[in-house]
Structures are given as C-alpha cells and as structure tokens.
Amino acid sequence: MVAFAGLAPVLGGRPRAATAAAAAASKGSAGAWGVTARPASAGRATAIPTRRSAAAHWTAVATPPAPSSTSTGNGVGVAAAAAAAAQASTLEDDAWLRTGSRQSKIVCTIGPKTSDVESIAALAAAGMNVARLNMSHGTHEWHAGVIANVRTVNARGGVNIGLLLDTKGPEVRSGDLKAPIEVERGQAFTWTVRRDLTDLPPFTTDVSYDDFVKDVHVGDTLLVDGGMCSFLVTSVDGPDVLTECIDGGTLTSRRHLNVRGKSASLPAITDKDWEDIRFGMEQGVDFYALSFVKHENDVAELKAHMLDAGVQALVLSKIESADAVGRLPQILAASDGAMVARGDLGAEIPVEDVPLVQDEIVRLNRLLRKPTIVATHMLESMISYPTPTRAEVTDITEAVKQGADATMLSGETANGAYPLRALGVMNTVAEADAVRDAGDGRVDLAFAASTLATRLDATALVVFTRVGNYARLVSSTRPRCPIIALCPDAALMRRMSLLWGVSAFVIDFSDDPEVTISRAMDLLRRRGLAASKDTLVICSDMLVDGGGDADAVNTLQVRRMQ
C-alpha cells in the first residue's frame, strides 16, 4: 500500500494514529481535508463555528484556486488581518463572520457619502477590504482626511483595510457645472477649452484637456460616461467643439468624455498624476491604480520611481484603453496586478468585447499569480435604488467565479443613496459563491484522485459514496480508468447508472475501514475488475465517531490489490 502522509486511511472508523494530527488540525480548523476545513454540506454557520476558529479557518482556506497574491503581499495582509482578529476584535462577531467566509475581496470607492470615520468603520464592518481614493475628484486635504479615517478604523482592530490611490490619468472630463443640464436628441451642444469660463452660453461646458480640440474630428462620436449620452461632432471652431446630441440625458459635473475608438494623446502619467503619486507616497498608500496605461513602460516608469524613493506599494494597471488591450501580456507582466476598468474600456473598444477582455485579464493574471480587480457598474442601479438588478447580481457572481481577486464599488459607495446596502449585496453575492465553492470542496479531492489514477495508470478509481455525491464529483472529472462506486443500497446504485464512467455496486460499509476496503477488493476480484497487485486509487469521505460534519474525514489513498 502507498499511503499518503497526512490523509487519513479511514472508512467508517476512527482516524488511525498516522492521521491523528491531521484530524486534530481539522478540528482546530486548519490544514486537513476534514469537512470542518472545507465543509461538504455546510451552511455558513457550520463553516465558521466560532469567531476564534473563524479567523483560523479563513486563513486556512483564503487562498483562491490559482495562487494570486501572496508574493505581492496581499496574502500576508489577509493572514495578518485574520490573526489580528483572532486576538482582539472590536467588531461585532457577526460582522467578522460575514466577511470571514468570503474569499474574493471588495474595493469601495470613498466619496462624499462615506468619507467620515464612522461611515468608513461601517463599510469595514460590512466587508470593505480596500478603500479607493479616486484622484479625479477631491483635494489632497480631503483625501488625507479619508486616509486618516481609514487608519483610525484599522487601529481599532479587527480589520485591515488597504488604501488604493487611483490616478486621474490622461482622462478627459467635462467641467464643473452649477446645475445639471438636461440634453435632448438633436440639441446643439458646445464643448470648449476656452480659458475664460465666465458667462458660458447655455448648452456649453468646458473640457479638462486643451488638446481635445486637436484630437477630435468632424464625424467623431463623443461619449459621456461611456455612452450615457452621446454627441456627433459637427465642427471644430478654434477652442470650441460643436456637436449635436445623438442620445440625450442629464449632464452633471466632471463627467468622463471619450471619443469612440480613440485615446487622448496625453502621456499615461500626467503632471497632476505625479503630484498625486507624491502625495500618496507621503501618505504611505498601499496600492496605485494607474489609469489609462498604454504600454508596459508606463508601469516600469512608476515602479522605478517608487524603487528610487524606497516605496514598496504595488502598482495595478487599469486596463481601459484599446492600446492597453493590444499589449495585455506585456502590461500585466510589468504590473503587480490589474483593474478591469470597464467604464472607459467600454467606450474605447466595442462594448461586446468588454466581457471577453475581462475574462482574458483575469485568466492571464491568475497564470501570473497577480490580483485582478473587476470594476465599474457592478451595482450601478443601487446608486439610486435599494435593490440590485438580477443582471448586476449575476455580474458579480461571474466575476467571482472567473477568479477575480476583487470586485469594486464606485459611485455606489462614493455618492450613492445606499452605500452600505450596496456593499451588503456585493458581500452576500460574493460570499454565496464562496459558500457554493466550499460546498464543492471535494471537487479538488476528486480532481486529485482522477489525476493520480491517470498518472499511476491505476486499474480503477474506487469511490465510497453514501448518497452518490462523491461518485458524481469523481465522474465529472472524467478520469481515464473505470470508476467503481460502492454504496450501501441498491436504489442509490441504480441512480448512479446515469453517471459517466461509473460502475456502481452495493457493499456493506463496516465500522472498520480496513474491513470495508477488504470487502471492496473482494468484489473487484470476484467481478474480474481488478487482480492481485493492480493499483487502485481509493477516495471516500466517511463519518467517524458517527458524528456530524466535525467528525468526517476525506481520504485519498493509493493501494495495491492483495
């Protein structure tokens, strides 16, 4: 028999001495394949029985399927947060528990609705992992206040909120308005780079970038906030770009302007960005999200600057331009992580390509073991309404399932009507995916069994199953050798007749695992399914002590037929 250290050779009985440590660890929540670590049928409560063990449990299972960020420091932060919480948490138990079982992280943009210390504490308690400062808005003084408030909340204990400074970048924005302007289809509208903005005529607003007038041409489509309103350029006259409204809407202050299919001819890091980065370095923020990265050299420039200054913060590239999409592998390789900035991205590339690019960024970054934030419009309707659309919920679930390390809230938490509710929805939806994954924890074991069986050229993969689930999971991994499913009753055996690759048989499950295995081998021999010296891969999850989840042990063994 080839036994696996740390995996209990248990079928129906107590763990043997060799596996006692693993079983003990599973009770304490870490390490072993006990169901306490990744519960097979667990609801939230059984996954995390107490606050103390919740912290340890979370540390044990926090690593996503593809290693993401430990090398860049994120994982260390997670562990530190968990350890800190295990020692002393000033948060309510249920707040810790609610954030404790979610594996993907949540970035919240801090804005006028959420900048005071108690709002930040409430966001932290509701599951915020990273606070985002958008340098397109607010003064350094305002952002310094937010940073101080985040630090106050961190210092209270129990949470570990990271600080992300998002540069304005070479984005083009409309100017400040005294009041929103309603624009209807067909309305003539002027965008100006005039210096003197006093007494602008109606249906006119300024634009933040002087060369705007050089970059746009007659026939271009001007998108406001990625297409919430759009305008056709009809002429360019000195400092004024004259347009006609195609899709109407309400224009508010400092809106995004994109010319469909074109990037502004500004450098990726503008003078304002350098000032903001200096501010961030003084303040010691943890992450920089670099807007409108076009080339890996943009990232290298910032990283070299930080190296010179002895700053260890991480640089995340915001993928939001057609240029960046064209150089994804190089840009991601140069960065510490990425943000899928779907707002501007959807204005620069066809909107139907955005999900494909998102998928590719998450996939590449998982291969590179670097984190990805999926951002923008995740719960957009909750800026105004107390419940999300079903499509928004699906969007979050899809991002989490893809393996995004984090999902982000923008206007929802910055200036929406329901910041905490929006975060609550994102938390619950992302957590639901984690719980579902946790419920399928044996999938990993099934895959491992399947891989082993193939590599070892096993004669059969034997799975002991009481209700058929384990056989179904093993079957879904499509091993190359036959799957022999052994169960205690004939009705279940029949139900398994539909499962790919499975031959099901009934045997008596003994309290002694060795007896059960020996019965299984007899059956295989009798049926001509295996002969003496053949290799078998055996997996099971049997209850020990006849107890609940806490007494279940998953095992994976390689044995030779006697």
Ligand X SMILES: C=C(OP(=O)(O)O)C(=O)O
Ligand Y SMILES: Nc1ncnc2c1ncn2[C@@H]1O[C@H](COP(=O)(O)OP(=O)(O)O)[C@@H](O)[C@H]1O
- Report if residue 380 touches ligand X, rule: CB under 6 A: no
| Helices 93-100, 419-439: crossing angle, 10 deg rounding | 60
The entry of ligand X, ligand Y, none that residue 344 binds, CB within 5 to 8 Å by partner kind: ligand X
Taking CB under 6 A as the rule, does residue 410 contact ligand Y?
yes
Residue 168's nearest CA partner among 88, 286, 254 is 254
In whole angstroms, what is the distance from residue 131 CA to residue 439 CA? 30
Please report, to the nearest 10 degrees, the dihedral formed by the alpha carbons of residues 37, 43, 45, 51 taken in order: 40
The alpha carbon dihedral of 199, 205, 211, 212 has a sign of: negative
User: Of 134 and 154, which CB lies nearer to ligand Y in the complex structure?
Assistant: 134
- For ligand X, the binding residue among 166, 298, 380, 412 (CB under 6 A) is 166
Catalytic residue among 204, 221, 243, 376: 376
Report, in Å, the least distance between residue 289 CB and ligand X: 8
Instruction: Tell whether residue 343 is a contact of ligand X (CB under 6 A).
Output: yes
Q: Give yes or no for a contact between 274 and 208, defined as CB atoms under 8 angstroms apart.
A: no
Residue 342 is a binding residue for ligand Y (CB under 6 A): no
Residues 116-135, one symbol each (x = binds ligand X by CB under 6 A, - = not), give ------------------x-
| Residue placing its CB nearer to ligand X in the complex, 222 or 341 | 341
| Dist CA 299 CA 291 (whole Å) | 10
User: Are 165 and 287 a contacting pair, CB within 8 Å?
Assistant: yes
Question: Is 136 a binder of ligand Y (CB under 6 A)?
Answer: yes
Residue number with CB closer to ligand Y (102 or 137) = 137
Q: Which of 55, 1, 6 is nearest to 33 (CA)?
A: 6
Residues 539/474, Cβ–Cβ less than 8 Å: yes
* Binding range to ligand X, per CB under 6 A, among 24-32, 36-44, 200-208, 340-348: 340-348
Active-site annotation holds for 102: no
Q: Which of 51, 98, 102, 132 is catalytic?
A: 132
132 is catalytic: yes
Residues of this chain, 250-279, that bind ligand X according to CB under 6 A: 256
Confirm or reject binding of residue 137 to ligand X (CB under 6 A): no
Q: Are 187 and 203 in contact (CB under 8 A)?
A: yes
Residue 440: what are its φ and ψ, rounded to 5°?
A: -100, 25
Residue 342: which of ligand X, ligand Y, none does it interact with, CB under 5 to 8 A by kind? ligand X
The residue annotated as part of the active site, out of 38, 105, 318, 370, is 318
Pattern of binders to ligand Y over 89-118, x per CB under 6 A? Answer: --------------------x-xx------
Return d(Cα 275, Cα 557) in angstroms, integer: 60
**What phi-psi label fits residue 147: left (phi over 0), alpha (psi between -120 and 50 degrees) or beta?**
alpha
For the CB of residue 14, give the shortest distance to ligand Y in the complex, in Å: 56
- Interface pick for ligand X out of 63, 136, 428, 503 (rule CB under 6 A): 136
The listed partner (ligand X, ligand Y, none) that binds 320, CB under 5 to 8 Å by sort, is ligand X
CB of 267 to ligand Y, least distance (A): 19
Under 8 Å between Cβ of 373 and 404: yes
The residue among 169 and 441 lying less far from ligand Y, judged by its C-beta, is 169
CB atoms within 10 A of CB 45: 10
Secondary structure in 3-state letters for 14-73: CCCHHHHHHHHHHHHCCCCCECCCCCCCCCHHHHCCCHHHHHHHHHHHCCCCCCCCHHHC
In the complex with ligand X, the residue whose CB is nearer, 104 or 204, is 104
Active site residue 376: yes
Binding footprint of ligand Y on the chain (CB under 6 A):
109, 111-112, 134, 136-138, 410-411, 414-415
Residues noted as catalytic = 132, 173, 318, 376
